[in-house]
Amino acid sequence: MQHLLTSVALLLAFGAHAQTVANFENFNLPPNTFVNNAGAAGAFTSADIELPNNYNAQWMSWDGWAISNRTDDTTPGFLNESSAAAGKGANGSATYAVSYVFGASIMRLTGATAGGKVLGLYVTNNTYAYFSMKDGDAFAKKFGGITGNDPDFFLLTVKKYLNGQLGTDSVNFYLADYRFANNAQDYIVKDWAWLDLSSLGNADSLQFTLTSSDVGAFGMNTPAYFCVDDVTTEDVLSQDDVVLNALSFDVFPNPTSDFLNVRLAEDADNAIVQIFDLQGKLVSEKTISGPQPRLDTRPLPAGAYFIRVGQGGKIGVGKFIKE
């Protein structure tokens, strides 16, 4: 019989990770370098996010995500595809992530964040894309055109996936915008800007796409790159679940296929038990009493769940598997 002990340490761990920042410094890159091959893992991992990477060894090409600490914010052209236009990471840091969008780039949420929220991230242009829009190149036009009046734009759109379904809501961010009547207001983003994604709600992953006003016979002419840093996520269980007087309890058997027993240090006396799915949705709530009450989990679909027990001003949080 496998027991799950919910303790003060576990409860405080939830609170300590209520918000987590992926800053990509964990890759410890040598100065002024980048890596665009995630190897057998197929993804770069920082904190509670995964960035899928597709690398073709034959052509030494890639799409999806790369990790960089390059500082070249002055050299135009494709050979500078791995630099951020800001010349550094967000908030003065060294390392950041670069995305080359082939259709769409995906950011996966992992660990305690899976099914939670991405509160936001910092975003800026890639240096190659920045100078392509600013000055034009052999493949793409100068934004604004000869007169400066062309209503050009470069747009980043973010949507979420939850339970395999792509959400209908989106967050848009203009990496460049020349649609203003007053040309003095036209801009191309060069510094890091905070992008609030909290309105998307709980997610398993995020989808990033790029669109541009400069489109040719083979699709978008503007280089399909952008950079992100300091991705801030929120665990499924919020900081409201952190209390100083933690309640210890066991639940068993775990995994369970039918009934789940709840054993507190003392007899349950009108304890309130709540069960949440991994998206943070309350799926069951019951008041229990007695030396070893049990819960009927048969109506629940198979999967992982959080259980929250409150009694006498104390709260405990745990996790169990329904088979």
Task: Point out the least confidently predicted range of 210-214, 216-220, 292-296.
Answer: 292-296
What letter does residue 18 receive in the DSSP assignment?
S
Task: Kindly indicate the confidence band of residue 269, based on its pLDDT and cuts at 50, 70 and 90.
Answer: confident
Nearest-10 Cα torsion for 168, 199, 157, 106: -80
pLDDT(185) > 80: yes
Residues 6+ apart with CB under 8 A from 138: none
Burial class (CB within 10 angstroms; exposed 0-12, middle 13-18, buried 19+) of 249: buried
Domain 19-234 fold is Jelly Rolls (2.60.120)
Report residue 135's pLDDT band, with 50, 70 and 90 as the boundaries.
very high
The Cα 208–Cα 104 span in angstroms is 6
Model confidence at 282: pLDDT above 80:
no
Nearest partner of 49 among 132, 149, 119, judged by Cα: 119
More confident residue, 194 or 4: 194
219 phi-psi bin (left φ>0, alpha ψ -120 to 50, beta other): left
**What are the residue ranges of CATH 2.60.40.3080 in the chain?**
4-11+238-322
How much is the pLDDT for 245?
53
| Cα–chain center distance at 161 | 11
Query: What value does the mean pLDDT of the chain take?
Result: 88
Residue 87 has pLDDT above 80, yes or no: yes
pLDDT tier at 4 (50, 70, 90 boundaries)? very low
Question: Are the C-beta atoms of residues 218 and 209 closer than 8 Å to each other?
Answer: no
* The pair of three-digit structure tokens given for residue 235, joined into one six-digit string: 């665990």
User: So what's the pLDDT on residue 113?
Assistant: 82
Of residues 241 and 223, the one with the higher pLDDT is: 223
pLDDT of residue 279: 63
Strands (E), 138-224: 153-162, 165-166, 171-177, 187-188, 193-196, 205-212, 215-216, 219-220
User: What are the CB-based long-range contacts (under 8 Å, 24+) for 51-59?
Assistant: 51/97, 51/99, 51/105, 51/107, 51/108, 52/105, 52/106, 52/108, 54/102
pLDDT at res. 80: 97
Q: Is pLDDT at 246 greater than 80 in this prediction?
A: no
Q: What is the mean pLDDT of residues 63-80?
A: 97
pTM summary value = 0.72
| 58-62, 81-85, 146-150: range with lowest mean pLDDT | 58-62
DSSP β-bridge partners for residue 122? 194, 229
pLDDT given for residue 124 in this prediction: 98
Using the predicted structure, report yes or no on whether residue 209 has a pLDDT greater than 80: yes
Among residues of the chain, what percentage have pLDDT more than 70? 89
CATH 2.60.120.1350 residue ranges of the chain are 19-234
Q: Are 255 and 218 in contact (CB under 8 A)?
A: no
Confidence of residue 73 (pLDDT cuts 50, 70, 90): very high
CATH class of 4-11+238-322: mainly beta
- pLDDT > 70? residue 149: yes
- Please enumerate in sequence order all residues whose Cβ is within 8 A of that of 74, keeping only pairs 6 or more positions apart, or say none: 127
Q: Is the pLDDT of residue 8 over 80?
A: no
% of residues, the chain, pLDDT over 90: 66
- The terminus-to-terminus CA distance of the chain in angstroms comes to 15
Neighbours of 8 (CB within 10 A): 14
